Amino acid sequence: MKVTKLEVSTVYPSERCEPHVMYLSGADHIVRPRHVPIFLFYRAREDGEQVMPTDLLKNSVANTLSKFYPIAGRLRKGSDGKLEIVCNNAGVEFVEATVDGSLDEFDGFNPKLFSELLDPVPVPFGESFTEYPITYIQVTRFACGGVSLVITINHACVDGLSVNQFLTSWSEVARGLEMSNPPVHNRTLLKVHITPEPGFRPKELRSLTNLLQALPKQNLIECMFSFTPERVMLVKKKAIGGGEQGAFSTFEAISAHVWRSVTKARGLDSQVTTRLLTPLDMRRRLNHTLPKGYFGNAICFVRAEAKAGYIVNNSLSYTANCIRKAVEGFSETYYSKVIAFAQTHENPLVMNVNWDDSEGCDVCVSSWVRFNFMNLDFGSGNPTFCSPGKNPYDGAIRILPTDKGNGHINIFLALKPDHMKKLISDAEFLLDD
C-alpha cells in the first residue's frame, strides 16, 4: 500500500490564550518525554457520506484546543533544567493523507504497518523534542471509504486519562455538544512542599544523565491477543486458587497471567528477580482529591517483584497477590516522597525497568480498558478498532478495549522473537483446552 500525504498544516486554537509558561509537576517528570500515539479506525458509512469530513475535524479540534491550550504549545527546558510548557498558541500539526488500499487489509494487528503508513510524527526517538509540536494528528482516508485517525501527544504533558479527556471532549465538540469534562489547568496542585528525604531514592524510578538518551534498537515481535469475557473469567477463577486471597480484579488476574507466561517464555534462571511495573492513577488515591478534569500527568509507578522461579512454579494466585500487595502498599506518604525527589532531582527520571538492558526480565503493564476510545464518535459513528501502535519496549504490555465491549479485551505485547514464539505456543497462556 502507498500512502500519499496531501497536506500538512497547523491548526491553532480558535480562541488564543494569553501567552505564559506552565509549570510541570513532579508527576510530569517521571515519564520519558516521548510522543505516544493512539490509532483509531473507522469503517465507511452505510449512507455513503464521507466519514469525518476534514473541515469538521479541523474546526472542532481548533475549538477544543481553546480549552486544552497547553497541548497546542511547545515544551522547553527552564532555567532550572526542568521541563515546562510554553503556552504560546503555536498549534498542532495536522496531516491529511490517502492510502490506495482497503481498511480490510489492516485486519489483524500489524503495528509496523500502522506506524510506517499512518503515524505522522517525524520525531526520531532520542532527538530534541523541544523543536517539535506537542501534538500531532493524521487523518488517512482509505480507498474503501474508511478512515484512520492517529493522535500523538508528548507523554511529558499528559497521561492516558488526560489523553482520553481531550479526545472525548473533541468528539463532543465535533457533534455539537458541550464538553462534559472541561480541563483544569493547575499543575501546582501536585506540588509537594516537603524537603526530600536524605538518601531516599524511589525504587520505581531511575536516573538518566541524558533526557534524550535513546533506547538501543532491539529486534522485537509484537502481537495482539484477544480475550473474550469467558476467557477473562477463566483467568480470574484460576487466580482465586484455593481462595485464601479472595477474588482478584480483572487487572490483577490478567496482569499476573501475562507476567507469569512471559517469565516462563523467557526461560529466566529461577534466582533472577523479575519485576512488574504499572502506573497508578493518583487522582483517586490522594487525600487532597484533585478536581474533576485535572489535566496533566497524575500517575506514579508501583513495582511488584519476585524470583522468576517463584512466579513460574507457584500458582497464579501467588503472582496476582504480588501485584495486589504492591498496589496496596503504595501510600500517599510514599507518593509525596517520590514527587519531592522528582521536583529536586538534577537528572531526568524514567521507570526503573531494564529496557536499556539486553537481558530483559521485567514487564510493564498499562491498562487502557476504562478509557473511552471505542466510543469516540466524531459524527460518523464509533471506531471499529483501536491500537497503541508500534512498541519499542521488550516486555511492555498494554490492555485495550475492543468494539465488542462487554468485557472483551485486546492485549498488546512486545517480546524478542524466540520468547514470542514460545509464548504463542503455550497452551496454558492461550487457555486452549
At a CB cut-off of 8 Å and minimum separation 6, what does 148 contact?
39, 40, 41, 42, 103, 106, 118, 138, 139, 140, 142
Do 181 and 219 have their domain in common?
A: no
Range of the domain at 355: 208-370+380-430
Do 145 and 274 have their domain in common?
A: no
Please compute Rg for the chain using Cα positions.
22
pLDDT in tens, 153-198: 999 999 999 999 999 999 999 999 999 999 999 999 999 888 888 8
Do 264 and 179 have their domain in common?
A: no
Whether 375 is covered by a domain: the verdict is no
- By C-alpha distance, which of 134, 153, 152, 167 is closest to 64? 167
- Quick one: 131 exposed, middle or buried, by C-beta within 10 A (0-12, 13-18, 19+)? exposed
Do 271 and 404 have their domain in common?
A: yes
Structure-model confidence comparison of residues 107 and 166, the more confident one: 166
Residue 53 DSSP class: -
Q: How far apart are CA 119 and CA 135, in angstroms?
A: 12
Do 415 and 279 have their domain in common?
A: yes
Whether 201 is covered by a domain: the verdict is no
Looking at the structure of the chain, the number of domains it has is 2
Do 144 and 237 have their domain in common?
A: no
Q: Distance from CA of residue 427 to its chain's centroid? A: 28
> Where are the alpha helices (H) located in 267-301, listed in sequence order?
none
pLDDT, position 341:
87
Beta bridge partners of 200: none
Q: Whole-structure pTM over 0.85, yes or no?
A: yes
C-alpha cell of residue 296: 496533566
Whether 198 is covered by a domain: the verdict is no
Do 177 and 232 have their domain in common?
A: no
Do 273 and 393 have their domain in common?
A: yes
Q: How far apart are CA 157 and CA 155, in angstroms?
A: 5
Decide if pLDDT at 106 tops 90.
no
Range from 58-67, 165-174, 222-231, 330-339 carrying the lowest mean pLDDT = 330-339
Beta bridge partners of 92: 11
Residue 76 DSSP class: E
C-alpha cell of residue 404: 465488542
Beta bridge partners of 223: 413
Q: How far apart are CA 42 and CA 212, in angstroms?
A: 35
Whether 338 is covered by a domain: the verdict is yes
Do 184 and 212 have their domain in common?
A: no
Do 235 and 158 have their domain in common?
A: no
Whether 174 is covered by a domain: the verdict is yes
- Domain containing 233 — which CATH number? 3.30.559.10
